[in-house]
Amino acid sequence: MNKKPFLCALALFLQMCTTSGTETDNPLVDFDASECKEGEALTRPSTIMRTAAALALEPDRYEGLYCVAWELAERGALKVDILNFSSGCHIAWEPGEISLTGDQLTLTARVGRCAVAGCGSCIYDLTFEVSAVDASRPLDMIFQEDNCHDVELGAELTLPLDERPEGIVCREARFYRDLEPICGTAHTPPCTDMDGPLTCEAGGCEGTLACVEGPESDDGDICLETCQSDEDCTLEIDSCQEGLCRLRETF
C-alpha cells in the first residue's frame, strides 16, 4: 500500500486544524476615522463615534481631554471610540495590527500614506469594532499608532467589561496648546501670551475656575472647576476631590 497519499492528506488536515480557530488574531469588524479636526470642528459632535458614551458627550466640554470610550454589543462585539487623538496633520488613517490574544486587545491606527508634512499636528477621532470578545472578565487594551517610522503607544488601559459593559475614561490633553489657543477652560492650561510652560503665574482661567499646579512630569498647570460635592462638577467623569473637580479615573 502506498502510504504517501494518505500521509499527505493527513498533513493537510492537520494544517487546516492548526490554522483554524485563529479568528481572534484579526477580529476587526469595522474601522473609521475622522479628518483633521481644526477650529470649530473641535467643538462639534463627531460624525464617526459609535459608543453611547461618546455620542452623549458635549464636544466643547471635552476639548481639553483625550478619551477612550467602549461599548459591548451583541455576540461578543466590542465598539471602541478614540476621541481627540493628536498626531500629524491631514492623515488618512487605516487599520494596522488588530489582535485579540487572551485578555489583551491591540488596536493600531496606521498612517495610510507616509509623507513628511510641515503643517504641525491635528486632532482626530477614530472608531473600531471587534468581535469575539469575552465579556465575562476585564480586557487589557492597547491603542497604538503606526506612523511609518515607528509604532508609538497611544493609550493603555483595562476595560472592566464584566462590571461596566460601556463607559468612557479620559486624561488631560496638553497638545492643544500647540494648536488653536484652547485654554482657560476646565481641564485645559491657563491662557497666556508668554512662551514656554503655561503656568498659574500667568493667570488665564475663566470665571471661577481655579488654576492649580500640574504634575511634576507635565509641562504646565491646569484650570479646574471648584466644588463642594460631585453634583457641582459639570462632567460626569469628574468627581469632587479636595474642593476641585478632577477626573474620576484616567489612563
Query: pLDDT value at position 17?
Result: 38
* Total-model pTM: 0.84
Query: pLDDT value at position 224?
Result: 95
The residues of the chain that CATH labels 2.60.40 are 23-174
Within the chain, residue ranges assigned H as helices are 4-19, 52-56
Whole-angstrom Cα distance, residue 95 to residue 163? 28
| Predicted confidence (pLDDT) per residue in 185-240, tens digit | 899 888 876 566 677 876 789 999 999 987 655 667 899 999 999 999 999 999 99
Query: pLDDT value at position 116?
Result: 56
Report the topology of domain 23-174.
Immunoglobulin-like (2.60.40)
Q: Flag residues of the chain having pLDDT under 50.
A: 5-23, 176-178
Query: pLDDT value at position 219?
Result: 60
- Closest residue by Cα to residue 238 from 191, 204, 173, 187: 187
Query: pLDDT value at position 111?
Result: 93
Contact 89, 117 (CB under 8 A): yes
Query: pLDDT value at position 197?
Result: 64
